[in-house]
Amino acid sequence: GQVRFLVFSASLRDNSLNTRLAKLAALVIEKNGGTVDFASMSEFDCPSFNQDLEVDGYHPEGAEAFRKRILANDAFIISSPEYNGSMPGIMKNTIDWASRFRPQPFHQHHALLLSASPSMAGGNRGLWSLRIPLEHLGTRVYPDMFSLAMAHEAFDERGSLKDNILAKRFEDNLVGFMNLVEASRHYPCIKKA
Ligand code: FNR
């Protein structure tokens, strides 16, 4: 069957630039023959992590939802804002909660990281912080990350990137990731939901 990608933005904001980039990634994946499971960060909402809450095997519903969606897909793609040079607190909080399941859901899953920011660096520093917990948990984080600079001016009214060279680079990045995930499906070490 087709390769399945969980795609979501790590921003809760209505007019989020990262949600726009995540939606564009979804379109590009479908255009190239992949299946998209698009999620909203609000579906993964969790209380602030506190080990005292972990009584009788408690996991928040948002963490359970995140775990299920990771396992139901072959790979996940996050478009994340950069807050103060790092990932948003809600993203780390959700990862921490989801890391408490056994088996641990991130292990041996593929991930691609995207970011969008009005700045010239496109929120790229935040992605280096996001790699740390994911790689710690055994996720195969794709080496190429795509960071959209000047994101408030980058999209046309249809949600595509105005700059054709950048649009091609974005598509090439996604297709490279798709090919890796597809090839990896033939390895039995990749567990299935
Ligand atoms: C930001 N922003 C920001 N941008 C950036 O490129 N580097 C940074 O370190 C920060 N820091 C930061 C901290 C906080 C608390 C906020 C609220 C914002 C700006 C950020 O990139 C901008 O608000 C984006 O539009 C947020 O992403 P969404 O919500 O549009 O997807």
Rounded to the nearest angstrom, the distance between the alpha carbon of 120 and the centre of ligand 1 is 12
Residue 103 CA, ligand 1 centroid: distance in Å:
34
pLDDT in tens, 169-180: 999 999 999 999
Say yes or no to pLDDT of 157 above 90: yes
pLDDT digits (tens, 9 = 90+) for 106-121: 999 999 999 999 999 9
Would you say the C-alpha torsion 83, 70, 182, 141 has a positive or negative sign?
Answer: positive
Name the superfamily (CATH) of residues 4-184: Flavodoxin domain (3.40.50.360)
pLDDT over 70 at 191, yes or no: no
Is the peptide bond prior to 103 cis by the omega test (within 30 degrees of 0)? yes
**Beta pairing, strands 75-79 & 140-141:** unpaired
Phi, psi (rounded to 5 degrees) for 73: -120, 165
Reported ipTM: 0.99
Question: What is the average per-residue pLDDT within 8-27?
Answer: 98
Phi, psi of 70 (to 5 degrees): -65, -50
| CA 64 to centroid of ligand 1, rounded, Å | 28
CB 88 within 8 A of CB 11: yes
Å from CA of 83 to ligand 1 middle: 5
By most ligand atoms within 8 Å of CB, the mutation choice from 14, 15, 18, 83 for ligand 1 is 83
pLDDT in tens, 134-145: 999 999 999 999
Instruction: Name residues contacting ligand 1 (CB within 6 A).
Output: 11, 13, 16-18, 81-85, 116-119, 121, 123
User: What distance in Å separates the CA atoms of residue 27 and residue 16, rounded to the nearest whole number?
Assistant: 17
Domain ranges of the chain: 4-184
